[in-house]
Amino acid sequence: MAAVLVCSAYGQSLNHKIDLPKDSPVGLLSADFGNSNVIARGGANQIEVNASLSLRNSSQKRIRSMTLMVYAQDGAAGGKGSVAVPTLDAAPGESFSIGIKTLLVRPLASGTPAVEVKLDGVLFDDLSFYGPDTLHSQRTMTVWELEAQRDRKYFKNLLETAGAEALGKEMLASLARQGDRSRMGVQMVRGRATNVEADKEFQFASLDIPESPIELSNGLARVAGNEARAPRFDIRNRSNRTVQHLEIGWLVKGQQGREFQAASVPGDVKLAPNQSGQMTQDATLRFDRPLAIESMSAFVASVEFADGTQWVPSRSAINQPRLRQVVEPSPEEQHLSQIYNKKGLQALIAELKKF
């Protein structure tokens, strides 16, 4: 019996495929899947992907971010994963590497298990996009890039108007906020939850950003135990352009007084200027620890107009004390603050001067 157990734990090799289109703006230099393996456990294969891809920008433009899709090639229905680098900034001809660490548990299938890595999207510094966009990467990466441009502009302006010392203080404050931010493990299930406890209606406090194209009001969700479900909001387009998509940040405050961003509520809408509507989501949010919810708040995190352009809150809006403590910093702000933290102020100033 011991021999059988040992055999079942024995790892086997993993087949892999990297799918980059012929006209892709990135070329594959090398791929190392050396530490990847497959272990059969019970009725499933546990596939560990530990890969490093070396790529090169073969386009004529700077690549600001890139998203790769990772999935198992076993024919069974299942999820997809992605690995994205939002702070890449690769110049034409420049090479860079992306690490992929993924664990997949898949039903046992005949043949050698295989994993496929596909390019989902590349965003250039002029906001143009390349890729199949299966995962709606264009929208996500455009938001990252707009936030990056906003934050770089803010920090460069701070450096020019208040000097290096003020920039250093701002970076320290950013690092402190990132360290102090409350977090809680959350799960999201589509549809109604199976919690048998009676639920009650909870109202969202709307954190209005005056410049936002969308006005939020009458937000409600049903809360039972450590679950909150079925959020819905009244929305009004107060801009002069048609809105086709928006994303709302969902904040939760526990009775211990700690507030954190629990989830995002994205939704496709079609709102003409001045038109009102309602946005609902048939989803349940569950916290991984018992949580007595004291209050819930919501704010508009991003808006996409019908012409594909996007709006993100300005730096002055997210510097409001109420939002400053809970809104997650952009990937670019985390990138810059880490440069300051690791290499110092001069390295940060040099980075800001790049573009």
Partner 1 sequence: MTRHTSETDLALYASGDLPVWRKLATAWHVRGCEECHGLVETFRLDREGLHQAADRLPEDILPVDWDQLSAEMTANIHVGLAAGECVTPRAPKVEALAWWRPAAAAAGILVLVAGAWWLNVPRSDTETIAHALQSLFTGQRSTIAQTAPQEDRGPMVGASSAGIELVENGGRMKIEQSGLQPVMYSVSTQGSASTRWVDEDTAQVTITAVYVQ
Binding to partner 1 (CB under 8 A) within 93-132 occurs at 98-99, 101-107
Using CA atoms, how far apart are residues 223 and 21, in angstroms rounded to an integer?
Answer: 47
Residue 268: what residue type?
A: D
Using CA atoms, how far apart are residues 87 and 198, in angstroms rounded to an integer?
Answer: 45
According to the binding rule CB under 8 A, does residue 42 interact with partner 1?
yes
- Choosing from 80, 153, 169, 270, the residue that interacts with partner 1 (CB under 8 A) is 80
Using CA atoms, how far apart are residues 58 and 30, in angstroms rounded to an integer?
Answer: 15
- Choosing from 78, 92, 93, 308, the residue that interacts with partner 1 (CB under 8 A) is 78
- Choosing from 30, 255, 264, 276, the residue that interacts with partner 1 (CB under 8 A) is 264
- Choosing from 281, 297, 302, 310, the residue that interacts with partner 1 (CB under 8 A) is 281
**Least separation in angstroms between CB 82 and partner 1:** 5
Restricting to residues 153-182, which ones interact with partner 1 according to CB under 8 A?
178
Closest to partner 1 by CB, 111 vs 210, is 111
According to the binding rule CB under 8 A, does residue 206 interact with partner 1?
no
According to the binding rule CB under 8 A, does residue 285 interact with partner 1?
yes
Using CA atoms, how far apart are residues 315 and 319, in angstroms rounded to an integer?
Answer: 6
Judged by CB under 8 A, how many residues of this single chain contact partner 1? 72
**Least separation in angstroms between CB 335 and partner 1:** 5
Closest to partner 1 by CB, 197 vs 211, is 197
**Least separation in angstroms between CB 273 and partner 1:** 25
Using left for φ > 0, alpha for ψ between -120 and 50, and beta otherwise, residue 77 falls in beta
Among positive and negative, which fits the CA dihedral 344, 350, 354, 355?
positive
Closest to partner 1 by CB, 199 vs 215, is 199
Quick one: which of 230, 226, 227, 246 has its CA closest to 238? Answer: 246
The token pair at 136 is 């709606």
Closest to partner 1 by CB, 238 vs 266, is 266
**Least separation in angstroms between CB 103 and partner 1:** 4
Restricting to residues 297-336, which ones interact with partner 1 according to CB under 8 A?
328, 331-332, 334-336
- Choosing from 82, 142, 206, 310, the residue that interacts with partner 1 (CB under 8 A) is 82
Among positive and negative, which fits the CA dihedral 287, 144, 174, 212?
negative
Closest to partner 1 by CB, 59 vs 284, is 284
Query: Between the CA of residue 345 and those of 175, 178, 334, 354, what are the distances in Å?
Result: 14, 18, 15, 15
Restricting to residues 331-350, which ones interact with partner 1 according to CB under 8 A?
331-332, 334-336, 338-339, 342
Helix pair angle (137-162, 331-343), 10° resolution: 50
Candidate ranges 5-13, 123-131, 212-220, 305-313; the one touching partner 1 (CB under 8 A) = 5-13
How many residues make up the chain in this entry? Answer: 355
343: Cβ–Cβ under 8 A, 6 or more apart, which residues? none
Closest to partner 1 by CB, 12 vs 274, is 12
- To 5 degrees, how large is the angle CA 261–CA 266–CA 272? 130
- Choosing from 13, 19, 41, 270, the residue that interacts with partner 1 (CB under 8 A) is 41
Closest to partner 1 by CB, 178 vs 244, is 178
According to the binding rule CB under 8 A, does residue 17 interact with partner 1?
no
Quick one: which of 108, 140, 109 has its CA closest to 127? Answer: 140
Closest to partner 1 by CB, 39 vs 238, is 39
According to the binding rule CB under 8 A, does residue 12 interact with partner 1?
no
160: Cβ–Cβ under 8 A, 6 or more apart, which residues? none
Using CA atoms, how far apart are residues 155 and 164, in angstroms rounded to an integer?
Answer: 10
